[in-house]
Amino acid sequence: MTPSPYPKSTRWLVVAPALFLLVFLAIPTAVIVQRGASVDAFADIIANNGFRKVAWFTLWQTTLSTVLTVACALPVTFILARFSFFGKRLLLALITAPFLLPTVVVGTALFALLPDRMHYTASAIIAAHIFFNVAVVVRLVMPRWSQIDPELIHAAHTLGASTARTFRTITFPLVRPALGFASTAVALFCFTSFGAVRILGGPAYSTLETEIYVRSVQLGDLNGAIAVGIIQAIFLIGVLYAMTKFGRHHTSPLTVNIQAPKPTGSGQKVAVAGIAAVAGFLALLPLLAVTWKSTSGWSQVLSSDTMRSLAVSARFAITASIIATTLGTMIALAIAYKTTSSRLLETITSLPLMISAVTVGLGILITFDQIPFEFRSTWWITPVAHSLIAIPLVVRTVLPVAQAIPQDLRDAAATLGSGAKDQWMRIDLPLLRRCLATACALSAAVSLGEFGATSFLTRQTYETLPVSIARLLSRPGDTQHAKAFALSTLFFVFSIGAVYIAETVRATRTKTH
Amino acid sequence: MKKIVAVTLSMLLFTACSGSSDEGSSSSDGPVTLTLLAHDSFTPSESIFDAFTAETGITVNVVRSGDAGELVSKAALTAGNPEGDVLWGVDNTLLSRALDADMFESYQTPNLAFMNESLMRNIPGHEVTPVDTGDVCINYDIAWFTDNNIAPPMSLEALVSSTYANLLVVPSAITSSPGLAFFLATVAEFGEDGWQDYWKSLRENGVLVVDGWTQAYSTEFSGSSGKGDRPIVVSYSSSPAAEVLFADPPTDVAPTGVAPLTCFEQIEYAGILRGTKHKAEAQLLIDYLTGTTFQSDLPLTQFVFPVHADAVVPESFTRYISRPERALTIEYNVIAENRAAWLDEWSTIVFK
């Protein structure tokens, strides 16, 4: 174990994030559990046949969705990480955009795309999960994969290793931590999937998360809901523990900021072009479906309430992104600089992933209801709830890169007389910049697309775009729906544009360093 | 111009009156803002509360959150320390939950005198006030039945006949309030011991149960925007009017019809939330919500019927709507006692 590179200044890094998670996550959860937990309800739930069916479905759809998502994502990640080609940024934006979209939009779009016999089936749910989560794998694995020194691969080839062998012995071990985490994240998203299951599965398919919602909100059975929530948390702790073990990073210093080469040779060119075309086409299909349905809605799209929701969505996304990136990075650095027990920190970080979002939403509602802590009517409580979901993602995005910063560089700087602050500014920060941008984009995405449990906290005065769309879709009449689809199209374009701009900014920044 | 003068005059008069009667009210300092909690389908005309503000000096801040079930669950959780002052949109299928949670303050608005007696039967304690009514009914796609030369179903009994196999789509009774209303209609029609067999037959006849009304009506139903492939759906008695008003291109022929014998009566209520700091002002708001100005706004903005006898219901609304002469209904206390057990049994019959 190497000593911390910055023992003095980083000791307090962990305080702010820990306090934040305590106040907005741990306390509300404790309050709602205290209000709703009962032994009888537990016994009832476990004995309930319907519940067992729900639990079994949750498990198998999670496993299948995760495996298929990773399988679909790997080829795209490969070309995006290893090559530079025409339209790369656009492809990245197209693939990442689904993650920003509200489930209500994707659900309806997939509905239009999938043949009738696939409606209300497990396959529809799994297809939606793949569509959403390919972005997660690409985003989390690509930064790592693109940092692998091409010399290593050249060397392997020169020594006679086949492509498959090179992948197995060099690439795979190096991307394994990132891939391990990405799969964890995907598994967690699928396990706790809410909107996609509600829309595409129909009432016959239910996951533990939708069961919590249905019980607490629709049936008014808080005791039953809390019992399911506790059982879900136990499941998730198990999944997380297994995955963290599998993904323990034994990182070796990586070279950073490598310029990806253009594909060479006709085989490579065809492979890259083929993968890019197929991936881009599949990512575009739902956009086309939504656009096609929106034709008559455009005249009404620029109404004042639409603009208002757009502004609200943007404000929430920016706020949530700032909170999550700041606090998440602090946690990641605290772990990387070994100031506190990293096992403990990683556990704390995973908390938001283990606790059902519906539970947290209900908890916040009944916890912060007294002056001076009457936060339920403030606008910022929603982005705070969004940032809770995003923090674990930020930590895992920043952590591998922070851990891979070579200590030699700092030592060299120290020898040359540079102080701790100077070292951090000149070595760590520039190397972290790229993944910080990714973290920002990811957390903004979580906030923009969030249409699950935290929409429970959203009040109409602060109606976000996904909530507007859902409201329009729930009213009868062609024009209302066309307007909803027009808004969705706008959402799609807005999301793709945001990612594209972020990528462009990042690329120019990288070049200047 | 005359109208404006009249309105201004009446406003001045009202302000003068309320100015004098306001002295005894709880808040003497500054203008009051009331928070009105409502479900997502609460969509009155944009400036509907301007007249109220002009009359009373009270501003109304509308906060919508989720569907009716979500609204009631949140209010029940925060009973006694509410998020707002007045709640709009608990209906007779959810009423038992709201009353059990003891979330309302009793109040009798003078407008009760203009309402039909029968609307008050569920609420002898006046915890809530009726604000509108509607009906959840079987709707059908007229063109589909004409093209296929089949008569549309006119009763609940007809839906289990093989003529209508695989044609019906309904929202789930667990996750949707019209779904619950339709389920209760079947209980009212076939009795507490008869609905189980009816639903078994419906299932054998290929009923499609989806999550919510939106999916049923807008995606699976053939008569609306989704152009799905099921021509029979559970919706409202006012849905044909909505189809005409929002038609693109415009039309004056309703594309859908309603089977009047299949309707379940829905009554919506508003109530003053227990724990409000503005009780006197909240009472004024209840008066306004049940007054003719607001009540006359309801039909074309929210596709429900007013409860105030003098409210104006425009012809463009009534032309496309036939209200059932006698809607099916179940008393709320019967719903309260059996809801959980019924729904458990129902989901076993329909999904397992």
Residues A160-216 pLDDT 10s:
888 888 888 888 888 888 888 788 888 888 988 887 787 777 777 888 988 888 888
Mean pLDDT for the stretch of residues B304-308: 95
Would an 8 Å CB–CB cutoff place A219 in contact with chain B?
A: yes
List A residues 90-119 in contact with B (Cβ-Cβ < 8 A): 108, 111, 116
Would an 8 Å CB–CB cutoff place A490 in contact with chain B?
A: no
- A471: tokens are 């409201």
User: Nearest to residue B179, comparing CAs of B324, B6, B343?
Assistant: B343
Distances (CA, A) of A285 to A53, A74, A106, A298, A388: 33, 20, 11, 20, 31
Residue type, B30: G
- B256: tokens are 């859908």
- Burial of A1: CB neighbours in 10 Å, binned 0-12, 13-18, 19+: exposed
CA distance A460 to chain B (A): 5
Separation of alpha carbons B6 and B239, rounded Å = 36
- Residue with the bigger pLDDT between A41 and B305: it is B305
> In this model, does residue B196 exceed pLDDT 90?
yes
pLDDT confidence of residue A143: 79
pLDDT confidence of residue B192: 93
Separation of alpha carbons B199 and B182, rounded Å = 12
pLDDT confidence of residue A461: 62
- Other beta carbons less than 10 A from residue A43's beta carbon: 11
C-alpha dihedral, B330 to B332 to B336 to B338, nearest 10°: -10
Structure confidence at residue B6 as a pLDDT band (50, 70, 90): very low
- Do the Cβ atoms of B78 and A369 come within 8 Å? yes
φ/ψ region of A160 (left if φ > 0, alpha if ψ in -120 to 50, else beta) reads left
- A114: tokens are 């999938």
CB nearest A376 (choices: B64, B83, B246): B83
CA distance B262 to chain A (A): 20
Would an 8 Å CB–CB cutoff place A199 in contact with chain B?
A: yes
- Do the Cβ atoms of A369 and B81 come within 8 Å? yes
Structure confidence at residue B28 as a pLDDT band (50, 70, 90): very low
Which of A475, A479, A485 is the best residue to mutate to test the B interface, defined by the most B CB atoms within 10 Å of its own CB? A475
Separation of alpha carbons A396 and A390, rounded Å = 10
Reduce the secondary structure of chain B to three states and give it as a string.
CHHHHHHHHHHHHHHHHHHHHHHHCCCCCCCCEEEEEECCCCCCCCCCCHHHHHHHCCEEEEEECCCHHHHHHHHHHCCCCCCCCEEEEEECCCHHHHHHCCCEECCCCHHHHHCCHHHHCCCCCCCCEEEEEEEEEEEEEHHHHHHCCCCCCCCCHHHHCHHHCCCEEEECCCCCHHHHHHHHHHHHHHCCCCHHHHHHHHHHCCCEEECCHHHHHHHHECCCCCCCCECEEEEECCHHHHHHHCCCCCCCCCCEEEEEEEEEEEEEEEEEECCCCCHHHHHHHHHHHCCHHHHHHHHHHHCCEECCCCCCCCHHHHCCCCCCCCCECCCHHHHHHHHHHHHHHHHHHHHC
* Contact assessment for residue B154 and residue B259, using Cβ atoms and an 8 Å cutoff: yes
* Contact assessment for residue B343 and residue B202, using Cβ atoms and an 8 Å cutoff: no
- Residue with the bigger pLDDT between B150 and A434: it is B150
Q: Can the peptide bond before residue A392 be classed as cis, meaning omega within 30 degrees of 0?
A: no
Separation of alpha carbons B41 and B176, rounded Å = 13
- Residue with the bigger pLDDT between B298 and A421: it is B298
* Contact assessment for residue A185 and residue A396, using Cβ atoms and an 8 Å cutoff: yes
Mean pLDDT for the stretch of residues B21-35: 60
User: Nearest to residue A201, comparing CAs of A128, A98, A121?
Assistant: A121
The residue count for chain B = 352
pTM score, two decimals? Answer: 0.78
Residue type, A328: G
Separation of alpha carbons B92 and B121, rounded Å = 11
List A residues 319-338 in contact with B (Cβ-Cβ < 8 A): none
Separation of alpha carbons A95 and A441, rounded Å = 13
pLDDT confidence of residue A255: 52
- Burial of B216: CB neighbours in 10 Å, binned 0-12, 13-18, 19+: buried
- Do the Cβ atoms of A365 and B212 come within 8 Å? no
In chain B, the percentage of residues whose pLDDT exceeds 70 is 91
Question: Rounded mean pLDDT of chain B?
Answer: 87
Would an 8 Å CB–CB cutoff place B235 in contact with chain A?
A: yes
- Which span out of A292-296, A444-448, B20-24, B131-135 was modeled with the highest average pLDDT? B131-135
> In this model, does residue B3 exceed pLDDT 70?
no
User: Nearest to residue B89, comparing CAs of B130, B139, B145?
Assistant: B130
Per DSSP, helices labelled H in A1-102 are 15-21, 27-36, 39-47, 49-82, 88-100
Would an 8 Å CB–CB cutoff place A460 in contact with chain B?
A: yes
Cβ contacts (< 8 Å) between A480 and chain B: which residues?
246
- Do the Cβ atoms of A460 and B347 come within 8 Å? no
* Angle B138-A125-A92 from CA coordinates, rounded to 5°: 125
Which of A49, A56, A218 is the best residue to mutate to test the B interface, defined by the most B CB atoms within 10 Å of its own CB? A218
- Do the Cβ atoms of B63 and A461 come within 8 Å? yes
Query: Judging by DSSP bridges, how do beta strands B129-141 and B305-306 pair with one another?
Result: antiparallel
Lowest mean pLDDT of A136-140, A193-197, B59-63, B333-337, name the range. Answer: A193-197
pLDDT confidence of residue B12: 39
Which residue ranges of chain A lie beneath pLDDT 70? 1-3, 7-10, 112, 242-258, 339-342, 451-462, 473-478, 506, 508-513
Provide CB contacts within 8 A for A26, sequence distance 6+. Answer: A351
Q: Is the dihedral of CA A130, A135, A139, A144 positive or negative?
A: positive
pLDDT confidence of residue B281: 96
Separation of alpha carbons A247 and A123, rounded Å = 28
Helix (H) or strand (E) holding A158: helix A150-158
- Do the Cβ atoms of B69 and A217 come within 8 Å? yes
Separation of alpha carbons A14 and A25, rounded Å = 16
Cβ contacts (< 8 Å) between A381 and chain B: which residues?
none
pLDDT confidence of residue B16: 38
Which of A205, A451, A459 is the best residue to mutate to test the B interface, defined by the most B CB atoms within 10 Å of its own CB? A459
Cβ contacts (< 8 Å) between B210 and chain A: which residues?
120, 202-203
- Burial of B180: CB neighbours in 10 Å, binned 0-12, 13-18, 19+: buried
pLDDT confidence of residue B21: 36
Provide CB contacts within 8 A for B49, sequence distance 6+. Answer: B59, B60, B62, B288
- Mind giving me the DSSP string for A229-273? HHHHHHHHHHHHHHHHHHH----------PPPPPP-HHHHHHHHH
Q: Is the dihedral of CA A336, A397, A57, B233 positive or negative?
A: positive
- Other beta carbons less than 10 A from residue A513's beta carbon: 10
Distances (CA, A) of A85 to A33, A91, A262, A366, B72: 52, 10, 6, 52, 54
- Other beta carbons less than 10 A from residue B283's beta carbon: 18
